[in-house]
Amino acid sequence: MKKSMLLGGLTLTATLLLAGCGKSDDVLVVGTNAAFPPFEYVGGQSGDEIKGFDIDLAKQIAKDAGKTLKVENMKFDSLIVALNSGKIDFIASGMTITAERQANVNFSEPYYEATQVVLVNKDNKDNKDNNSINTLEDIKGKHFAVQLGTTADIMSKKYTQNITAFNTGFEAIMELKNSKVDLVLFDSEPAANYLAKNPELKMIKLDFPAEFYGFAVSKEQPELLASINKTLANMKADGQYQTLVSAHIK
CA–CA dist 95, 76 (Å, integer): 9
The whole-number pLDDT of residue 204 equals 95
Contact yes or no for 188/94 (Cβ under 8 A): no
**Direct distance between the N- and C-terminal alpha carbons of the chain, in angstroms, rounded to an integer:** 27
Q: Which residue has the higher pLDDT, 242 or 22?
A: 242
3-state class percentages of the chain: helix first, strand second, coil last, to nearest 5? 35, 25, 40
CA–CA dist 157, 103 (Å, integer): 20
pLDDT (tens digit, 9 = 90+) per residue, 35-63? 999 999 998 777 789 999 999 999 999 99
Q: Is the peptide bond before 222 cis (omega within 30 degrees of 0)?
A: no
pTM: 0.84
| Amino acid present at 90 | F
Angle at Cα 250 formed by Cα 207 and Cα 205, nearest 5°? 15
Residue 28, strand partner residues: 69
The whole-number pLDDT of residue 46 equals 74
Coil, helix or strand at residue 15: helix
pLDDT (tens digit, 9 = 90+) per residue, 205-224? 999 999 999 999 999 999 99
pLDDT (tens digit, 9 = 90+) per residue, 81-113? 999 999 999 999 999 999 999 999 999 999 999
Q: How many CB atoms lie within 10 A of CB 42?
A: 16
DSSP E strand stretches across the chain: 4-5, 27-32, 35-36, 40-43, 49-51, 68-73, 90-91, 106-107, 112-114, 116-121, 144-147, 163-166, 183-187, 201-204, 211-213, 216-217
pLDDT (tens digit, 9 = 90+) per residue, 122-173? 987 654 445 789 999 999 999 999 999 999 999 999 999 999 999 999 999 9
Question: Is residue 22 classed exposed, middle or buried when 0-12, 13-18 and 19+ CB atoms within 10 A define those classes?
Answer: exposed
CA–CA dist 119, 239 (Å, integer): 33
pLDDT (tens digit, 9 = 90+) per residue, 187-196? 999 999 999 9
pLDDT at 65 > cutoff 60: yes
The whole-number pLDDT of residue 44 equals 73
